[in-house]
Amino acid sequence: MAIFMLAFLAGCLAPDRVVYGPRAAATASIEGFGNIRIYADSNRQLPEDSDWLPVPSGKEVNYLVLSGGGSGGAFGVGILKAWTENGDRPEFDIVSGVSTGALIAPFAFLGAAYDDTLVDLYTSGVAEKLIDADFLPKGLLGPSLLKQEPLRKMVERYITRETLAKIAAEHRKGRRLLVLTSNLDSLRAVIWNMGAIADSGRPDALKLFQDIIIASASMPGIFPAVLIKAKSGGQEFEEMHSDGGSASSILTIPDGWMADPEKGAWPKNTKVNMYIIVNNTLIPEFSTTTNNTLAVMARASSALIRAQTRSALVATYLYAQKTGIRVHMASIDTQIPYDVTDPFNTSYMRTVYKLGYARTASGNLWKDKPLFPEKLPVAQPIEMKP
């Protein structure tokens, strides 16, 4: 009876959606925007137009990959800040972002001038305002535990028309900004060409850009999924998009390309440097797990994400060995206490920020192989240089 009542209440609280089928899903597009997205698992080449592959200004392509990891995104922000101060941070020809990496990606793409914006976003405490929970039963049976409004307001505050215009200008120079979401209807990862969206000139471009960032950063069940209007033939409907990390915590090379290295060849005589920042730990973190449903689910989810990330790094590394891409990897390599019930804790975010900053400032950050030690040191106080 209890299970029946829960199912009944969930059905009552769920909003109605237009029903559409797999054929419509396979051919759906965002009306008026052209080829702004592809499925990551597609075996087809990228669209023929030149909006996808970068147009390098020199003989090297610098590719920055920003992973998911929630509040661990502060680690990547610390890296970017110290990298700028070290004086050897390149201008990236491609930047990709997943989940929290999607929040960072537009500003990393625009360069060092936005470092302080990212530092404010990840260390000032503003992220704690994202905690706005729905009361039971709506929180458990509705679209999510937390409300979307705080996250949307944050994205709208930082991603403005001015930001969009600057991204469009860089896109026209040949640089590329990519973000990953998960299409929950099709169970497929979607790569969005954010620069092409910004450069579309459409009045609804800002809203679509913001929706994609919000969707990619919306952890399933924690934040509600985002409905994005699409069209196939004469049918209009809304696709449901959520955390890109559900499909892959990093966006490096589309799966179809990895399976066939002859596809998507880079420009001849061009060296590719890929910098992968994993905003998470990839080695064992011991913690006695409380024997209750939520704690067990959280630990299992953490194990799944780490295994998925490590597999993606190994696949990227093997592809890079075949194609000559030079891979540099970084991840959180210190066990830092984390409370799953307080996901945007400012103290935690400042600690991982300082870790990323310190590792980069000392020149002890990048690894060239996906090898991870079995023992993880416990965090010690970290000092930033003035």
> Taking Cα atoms as reference points, which of 11, 346, 376, 35 lies closest to residue 199?
35
Question: How far apart, in whole angstroms, are the C-alpha atoms of residue 29 and residue 221?
Answer: 26
Q: Is the pLDDT of residue 287 over 80?
A: no
- Three-state DSSP class for 335? strand
Query: Residue 41's pLDDT band (boundaries 50, 70, 90)?
Result: confident
CA distance 189 to 356: 28
Please write the tens of the pLDDT for every residue from 249-274. 999 988 877 777 565 556 667 789 99
Give the tokens for residue 230. 């699409």
125/138 Cα distance (integer angstroms) = 27
Q: Is 368 exposed, middle or buried (0-12, 13-18, 19+ CB in 10 A)?
A: exposed
Question: Mean pLDDT of all residues in the chain?
Answer: 84
User: pLDDT tens digits, residue range 314-364?
Assistant: 999 999 998 889 999 999 988 888 777 777 889 999 999 999 999 999 999
Tokens, residue 170: 């860089």
CA angle 27, 193, 320 (to 5 degrees): 105
Q: Which residues of 226-251 are buried (b: 16+ CB within 10 A; e: fewer)?
A: bbbebebeeeebebbbbbbbbbbbbb
pLDDT greater than 90 at residue 206: yes
* pLDDT > 80? residue 201: yes
Q: Which residue has the higher pLDDT, 376 or 168?
A: 168
Q: Is the pTM of this model over 0.85?
A: yes
d(CA 168, CA 201): 9
Q: 3-state DSSP call for residue 241? A: strand
